Each structure stands twice: as C-alpha cells, then as structure tokens.
Amino acid sequence: MEFLSFMLFCFFFFNSSVALDTMTPNQTLRDHGETLVSNDKSFELGFFSPWNSSNRYIGIWFKNVPEQTVVWVANKNNPLTNSSGVLRITSCGNIVIQNSESGIIVWSSNSLGTSPVLQLLNTGNLVVKDRWSDNNSGSFIWQSFDYPCDTIIPGMKLGSNLATGLDWYLTAWKSTQDPSTGEFTYKVDHQGLPQVVLRKGSEVKFRSGPWDGVRFGGSPEIKTINGVFKPIFVFNSTHVYYSFEEDNSTVSRFVLNQSGLIQHIVWNPRVGAWKDIITLNSHECDNNYDMCGPYGICKLVDQTTCECPFGFTPRSPQDWNARQTSAGCVARKPLNCRAGEGFRKFKGLKLPDASYLNRTVASPAECEKACLSNCSCVAYANTDVSACVIWFGDLKDIRRYNEGGQVLHIRMAASELDSKNKKTLVFHLMMAISSALLLGLVVSWYVVRRRTSRRIAFGVDNPNQSFSRDIGEEDLELHLFDLVTIKAATNNFSLANKIGQGGFGLVYKGELPTGQEIAVKRLSEDSGQGLKEFKNEVILIAKLQHRNLVGLLGCCIHEEERMLIYEYMPNKSLDKFIFNQTRGTSITWQKRFDIIVGIARGLLYLHQDSRLRIIHGDLKASNILLDNDMNPKISDFGLARTFRNDQTEVNTNRVIGTYGYMSPEYVIDGLYSTKSDVFSFGVLVLEIVSGKRNRGFYHPDHDLNLVGHAWKLWNEERPIDLVDVFMEGPSPNSQVVRCIQVGLLCVQLRPEDRPSMSSVLLMLFSENPMLPPPKQPGFYTDRYIVETDSSSAGKQPCTPNEVTVTRLQGR
C-alpha cells in the first residue's frame, strides 16, 4: 500500500496537469491547458494568445483577476503559430520553449545551474533556483523579475544594478495583439540625479524629474494612495532602482501602454474592472519634452502654458506670443561671473534636466558656494536624496506644480538681485506706514489706472463697459485686439474670408501683420443669447491649455462688436471630412482612431486635469477643428459649464445643445454632468467610424438613428458592418470593433453606466479585450416629438442650438 501511494504521488507530480507551482527537469508544461499556479493562487503561468491573435506565448497573469491580464511574456518576440509548444527546464537550469513538432527552440533563458527547480512564486516572479534553496533568500539562478516587459508589479524593479550592469526597464507592446518590442521604453537614467525617462525610439518624450525622497520630480500625482501604495527608491554605490509595495488586499500594476502612457492601474473588485489611478504623463507639460525651451517653465495653472522666470524674457517675443515657445527664455542681464552675482529661489518645480550630482558637498551653503565659484554653473538645488545638485548650460524641461515640487536656485546678475531687495524694502515700508484707509485708496487707484492703461495700450476704443465690468479684470488676462487690426486682417469682414457660421455668428479667416493666420468669431448683433455665451467663452478658454483644445489668442471689444480671435485651423472642422466623403477622399482608419483618441484626451483634460472641472456641453463634429496634421482640437465653449470639485451633477431649467448629441437625462430632466459629455463623445465616435450623422441617418430596413443602427448591429454580432464604406486602406477589425463598443458604452441610457473619460482612454488602448458589454443606449430612435406646454411660455427664445423640452416621445 505504501509503495502504491508513492507511485501515485510520483505519477501526479510528474505527469498530471494538476496546477502546481514547481517544475523539475523531468517535467514538461504543454499547450493543452497545463499551467503553473503560485502557492497562494495569486499568479498563473501558461500558454496564451493575445486578443484577436492566433500566436501562442508563455506568459504570467493574475490568477485572482477574472480578466486575463498578462504581466510578463517570455517569447514575446518569437511566438509559436500553433499549440505544439512545450515548456521545460533542462538539468543544467536552462528554461526553454520548444516546438514539439519541429524541435525548434523559440526561446531560452540562457541560465545555468545545478540541481535546478523552476518555480512560480507568490510575488509573480518565475525563478530558477537550487532545489534546496529558500525562496526568501533572494539567491536565484535566474528570475523573470530581471527581465520586465511592459508591466511592473510589487517587488519588481525599475533601474540598474551598477555592479553587474543589469538594467530593469519597461518596453511597450507593439499592439494589443502583439507583445513584441514596441517603440516606447521607460528607463531610469542615473547620469546625474536619477530620474525615469520615456523614449520613443531615441527621442525623449517625457522624464519624471529626480527623486525627492518621496516621489520623482516632486509631482503631486506620485504619492502614497490611501496608505495602500508605498513607493521605494534605492540609490547607493551598487544599485539605483524604483519599486513599490502594496497591502495584501490590493492588486495593482504599473503599465507602459502602446501609446506611451505610463499608468498605475488598480483592480476594482466591486465593479469588476481595472481602474486607472495615475497617468504620469497625461498633462500637456508632460507630453512634450522641453516644450517651453531653455529656461522656460511649463505650467497648467494660468491662461498661458509657458512662462519665463523672474529675470528672464522670451528669446523671441513674437514667436512666444504666437505660442511657439521652443526658443525659450533668455536672461535680461547676462552672467559675466562678476562679484555680486547670486541666486533667486523658485519653488514648486520639477527640476531641470541634465543635472550634475556633486557628492562631495553636504550642506546647502556649501552647495551655493560650489556653484557660485564655477562661472559655468547656472543653478543648484538640494534634495533629500542627495545633498547638492548643480546645472551647467541651459536649464531644460522645467515644470511648475500647483502643489509639491522642489526648490531650484537660479543664478542672477547682481542688478537683478538688487532689484528684488529694493522692491522688498519698499513693500515693507509701505505696509508699516500705511493705514487701512490709505491702502484701500491706493488699491482702488491702481485698479482704475490698470484698466485704463490696458484699454489705451491695446487700442480698445470705448469697449462695452458692462461687458468688462461683468467679466472682471482678473478674468480678462488675454490680448485685446483693436477693431482696426481685425478689419485689416479679415479684409473688412469680406465674404471671401468667411469660413464658417454658428449659432452665435460668423467666423472669418484673417492674417495679422506678423503673418500669423487667425480665425475670428464675430458675435452677430441679433443673437438673443450671444452675450452670455461670449463672456463664458472668454473666461473659460483663456484659462485652458491643451494640445487638443483650440487656442484662444485674444478678443476684440468695440462698442457693440464682440469677437474672439483663435488660432487658425487650416483643415477646418471634422464634419467636413467625415460627412462629405467620396471614394478617394475618405480619411484612413488610423487617422480616425487618432482623432478619436485626441478628442478623448481633450475631454479628460476638461473633466479631470484642468484648473476648473468643465463640462463642454456642445460636443459635436462641427466643434472639432483639425490642424495641419489633422490633430483634433475641441472648440466652441459658449455652452460650457464649470463644476466645483465636490460636484457631480447640476440641474438647469435652460436646456441648450444640439439634437443628436444631448444626453437623455439632460434633455428630459435638465441634469448635466461629465457623463453628458461622455454621451456626446459616444455619438461622435460612432459618427467617425461610420461616416454618417446620428440625426438624419437613413436605412431602408428600419427607422432607427445611427446610435440605434449601431446597437442593432452589435446585438446581431455584425458591428463591423457599421464601418464607413468609403474608407480605404487597412483597418484592424479588432480596433474598429473596440471603438464601436466604447462608443456604445458611452451612449448607454443611464449616466452611471457610462465610463469616465479616463476609463475610455484606457479601453481604447486596452491590453485586454474584456470590455463590459454595452446596455441599451439612450435616444436610439431619434424619431420623437418635442412638445411644449403653457409653462414654457415665459422661457427665453431658442437659438438655433437651443431646445426647451418637457416631454419626449419615441416612435
């Protein structure tokens, strides 16, 4: 009996497909559902195929997450094309993946050891170790944690072993169907003060900034999250690396996705989905390395994106005003290494690139002295990790944070420092000798004088007093053009210069004396609701800066004339491209996908990352403008609304928008929220895919609108039939179907069922095809009657975009 029990044990241990965590050299793992499972059932290793791919790979994924989420791939650049693969470990300790039919080895760990065992640990680390070694010793012959792919999980490292030369870094997948090496890498740069750098090929796209003792670059995004996320940074003579820990109840990962976004994602078991907690490079300042040029500071708190620090001016003022800021800033008083030069302190910054770490200096005073004694030194900083960091040459890629950040001391000429000291002395003297009454008079006089001087300086002849007073001087911090300049630019508003027409007036193309092309939105005199929307647009857009939002250059106010001056978009609006196509003129799928992603990023900025939480309120194809490279820019903020951070929705009695894009809860109950924009975005996605308008859509077999038609095709498992028949060139069906599914998720009837824009972006670039199935959309017939009753008699008259609704009836 004992012998029989032993034989049964040996049979199951060496031949059974029962999931164990260990393999020995006389075992194999075949592509027939056989897997290794960590002892605590957290991770699983086996053969898998990415979504919509028939290739086979060996990978590790979360066992306790319903969606198969792969965190490591062995043969990512050498897939098997069928299920003939087998995994084994040789008696010499080498892991191999082999085609059992041809005998060809497609991947090898190239490891070497005696008495080897292959084991999947509870951490998700696949290791080759000595049969008798302890898992906690950390002494492994080989480990998967040394070769990250696109993901790091708790315990993995991002950095370098300076003693052995081993680097741990992330490489994006080529696509959701292909885990092979993509074009983005995310790697610790330890030349100078360590920081993490994102590259597309050899081009730097983003850098984190140096470690400050708590996080990289002082960024407020990277911090302990509710006590469950603990960042770790090691920086000594043998190692420099970043890692993180989490509590046992959390499942999370850092991912570098195919589009170059770096995200910390946490599994939410309550809703059964991954949640994007942090996107490190979601801000405009982070998407463009050194976008403000030498000494320029990128910020997202005021109306302009770039600023020059005190003591510096734009190197090319004309380009700077036109938002071409790559030339950066230059010192007003050049440095000459003369006596009296010193430093001015700037707080809340991401420190510049290309630093030099001076390990021989310990105190801040010694650091200042070391920089001042070297004529080539232009700045210094002290951090918690290292005592002294100094910079030579131009200061590049600086960002200002609303909170957090680090302190940088920039070298200044003596005259700039004297100016500062004199101003400080005058300020304190005035505070000491001025009474409250006198101070009030001085402030009043200053405000009046400033308003007058602004009108004189910009040549604004008698602007509308009510308008200026209602907006407030603090809101009108943008360029004021005089009417003469705008008339000259537009050839006196010639019909030949007319490029568009909206509910609130005409739009003209113009050219300033500098040669810059502009678009002039002129408020029509008979617009019943125009003044309110005009004020709204001036106040909001002046504070917004994002690559996917149209840039406001200024405004013109002259008596009854009110105009907004925008950057000119040569390709005009999206509707001109997607609704008026013929064979040979249609835009490709890749360009459509890029436009969808760009619109999503712009909305995410409005909803989450801008200074104000903003609901656009009128998102539609004609309000998406396209630049020279067909990059989308959201425009027309006349109907936009701002939210406090603690607000989720607002009720209104005045329903304004465009038929076919408005959400059901807004039209019927006057409730609007960020999910109202999500609904409009979903409609827009379906229009971009199909090349058809939602309203006015016709099909010979039914009376549904475009949303209803897409919903019908989805339920019939024919979503690909929605694709624009004029679209030429290759279009990956999986990506198209995913966009259709995202569009349908966005137009679901109940706002709480719709995803947030951060989730939308994650789904668009998802490594995982397991998106939730969409539910019934709202307004999917579009054949309804708008009824009014006597209660609406006192409401304001409708503009071409305005709708007053008391009841909707489907047909």
Task: With H, G, I as helix, E, B as strand and everything else as coil, classify residue 178.
Answer: strand
Instruction: Give the E-state strand segments of 20-141 in sequence order.
Output: 22-23, 28-30, 36-37, 43-48, 57-62, 70-73, 85-89, 95-99, 105-108, 116-120, 126-130
Backbone region of residue 287 per phi and psi (left: phi > 0; alpha: psi in -120 to 50; beta: other values) = alpha
pLDDT of residue 437 exceeding 70, the answer is no
For residues 28-44, give the mean pLDDT: 95
Spatial CB neighbours of 426, under 8 Å, sequence gap ≥ 6: none
- Work out whether strand 312-314 and strand 632-634 pair parallel, antiparallel, or are unpaired: unpaired
The most confident of 453-462, 481-490, 577-586, by mean pLDDT: 481-490
Query: For 130-180, what is each residue's pLDDT tens digit?
Result: 887 766 656 799 999 999 999 999 999 999 999 899 999 999 999 989 999
Specify the range with the lowest mean pLDDT, choosing from 20-29, 43-52, 327-336, 583-592: 583-592
Q: Which of 417, 401, 399, 395 is nearest to 330 (CA)?
A: 395
- The model's pTM: 0.55
b/e code 68-81 from CB counts within 10 Å (16+ = b)? bbbbbbbbbeebbe
Residue 388 or 362, more confident = 388
pLDDT, position 283? 79
For residues 773-780, give the mean pLDDT: 89
pLDDT interval class at 469 (50, 70, 90) = very low
pLDDT interval class at 6 (50, 70, 90) = very low
For residues 597-604, give the mean pLDDT: 94
Q: Do residues 209 and 220 touch, judged by C-beta distance below 8 A?
A: no
pLDDT, position 379? 93
- Cβ contacts of 734-738, under 8 Å, gap ≥ 24: 734/51, 734/52, 734/176, 734/177, 734/769, 735/176, 735/589, 735/593, 736/589, 736/689, 738/763, 738/764, 738/766, 738/769, 738/771
What DSSP designation does 325 have? -
Domain boundaries, the chain: 18-147, 286-422, 446-567, 575-809
User: What gap in Å lies between CA 675 and CA 751, rounded to an integer?
Assistant: 6
What is the DSSP track for 238-294?
SEEEEEEEE-TT--EEEEE-TTS-EEEEEEETTTTEEEEEEETT-SHHHHSTTTT-T
Tokens of 129: 């170790």
- Work out whether strand 561-567 and strand 650-651 pair parallel, antiparallel, or are unpaired: unpaired
Just give the CATH number of 446-567: 3.30.200.20
Does 618 qualify as catalytic in the annotation? yes
**Given the structure tokens 């589009």, which residue do they identify?**
259
User: What gap in Å lies between CA 247 and CA 337, rounded to an integer?
Assistant: 53
H helix or E strand, kind and range, residue 644:
none
Helices 757-764 and 589-604, axial angle in degrees (round to 10)? 150
pLDDT of residue 37 exceeding 60, the answer is yes
pLDDT, position 457? 33
Q: Which of 468, 492, 563 is nearest to 525 (CA)?
A: 563
pLDDT interval class at 389 (50, 70, 90) = confident
pLDDT, position 288? 84
- What burial class does residue 651 get, using C-beta atoms within 10 Å of its C-beta: 0-12 exposed, 13-18 middle, 19+ buried? exposed
What DSSP designation does 80 have? B
pLDDT of residue 577 exceeding 60, the answer is yes
pLDDT, position 733? 85
Tokens of 374: 């070297």
Tokens of 552: 């406001």
Q: Do residues 521 and 567 touch, judged by C-beta distance below 8 A?
A: no
Query: For 757-766, what is each residue's pLDDT tens digit?
Result: 988 988 888 7
Q: Which of 784, 758, 747, 776 is nearest to 663 (CA)?
A: 747
**Terminal Cα-to-Cα distance of the chain (whole angstroms):** 77
Q: Do residues 598 and 632 touch, judged by C-beta distance below 8 A?
A: yes
Helices marked H in 288-360 — which ranges? 317-321
Task: With H, G, I as helix, E, B as strand and everything else as coil, classify residue 230.
Answer: strand
pLDDT, position 623? 92
pLDDT, position 148? 97
Specify the range with the lowest mean pLDDT, choosing from 229-233, 434-438, 521-525: 434-438
396 marked ligand binding residue: no
- For the chain, the C-alpha Rg in angstroms (whole number) is 31
| Portion of the chain with pLDDT greater than 70, in percent | 77
Residue 263 sits at φ, ψ, to 5 deg, of -130, 140
Q: Do residues 452 and 446 touch, judged by C-beta distance below 8 A?
A: no
Distances (CA, A) of 809 to 302, 660, 664, 781, 782: 45, 15, 12, 10, 10
pLDDT of residue 484 exceeding 50, the answer is yes
Of 2.60.40.2580, 2.90.10.10, 3.40.50.2000, 3.30.470.20, which CATH number belongs to 18-147? Answer: 2.90.10.10
pLDDT, position 502? 67
pLDDT interval class at 732 (50, 70, 90) = confident
H helix or E strand, kind and range, residue 710:
helix 706-715
Query: For 703-716, what is each residue's pLDDT tens digit?
Result: 899 999 999 999 99
Tokens of 135: 């898992």
pLDDT interval class at 427 (50, 70, 90) = very low
| Portion of the chain with pLDDT greater than 90, in percent | 41
Q: Which of 28, 2, 195 is nearest to 96 (CA)?
A: 28
Give ∠ CA 642-643-644 in degrees, rounded to 5. Answer: 130
CA dihedral 309, 315, 316, 319 (to 10 degrees): -50
pLDDT interval class at 737 (50, 70, 90) = very high
- Work out whether strand 479-480 and strand 552-558 pair parallel, antiparallel, or are unpaired: parallel
Q: Do residues 694 and 727 touch, judged by C-beta distance below 8 A?
A: no
pLDDT, position 646? 52
pLDDT interval class at 561 (50, 70, 90) = confident
What is the DSSP track for 111-137?
---SSEEEEE-TTS-EEEEETT--GGG
User: What gap in Å lies between CA 683 and CA 620, rounded to an integer?
Assistant: 8
Task: With H, G, I as helix, E, B as strand and everything else as coil, classify residue 440.
Answer: helix
Residue 157 sits at φ, ψ, to 5 deg, of -120, 150
Active-site choice (290, 618, 636, 724): 618
For residues 99-117, give the mean pLDDT: 92
pLDDT, position 256? 95
Residue 503 sits at φ, ψ, to 5 deg, of -65, -20
**pLDDT, averaged across the chain:** 81
Query: For 715-726, what is each residue's pLDDT tens digit?
Result: 999 999 999 888
pLDDT, position 9? 42
pLDDT of residue 545 exceeding 70, the answer is yes
User: What gap in Å lies between CA 597 and CA 762, rounded to an integer?
Assistant: 10
Q: Do residues 599 and 629 touch, judged by C-beta distance below 8 A?
A: no
Q: Do residues 413 and 335 touch, judged by C-beta distance below 8 A?
A: yes
The DSSP bridge partners found for residue 9 are none
pLDDT, position 795? 34
Just give the CATH number of 575-809: 1.10.510.10
pLDDT of residue 221 exceeding 60, the answer is no
pLDDT of residue 730 exceeding 80, the answer is no
User: What gap in Å lies between CA 468 and CA 457, rounded to an integer?
Assistant: 16
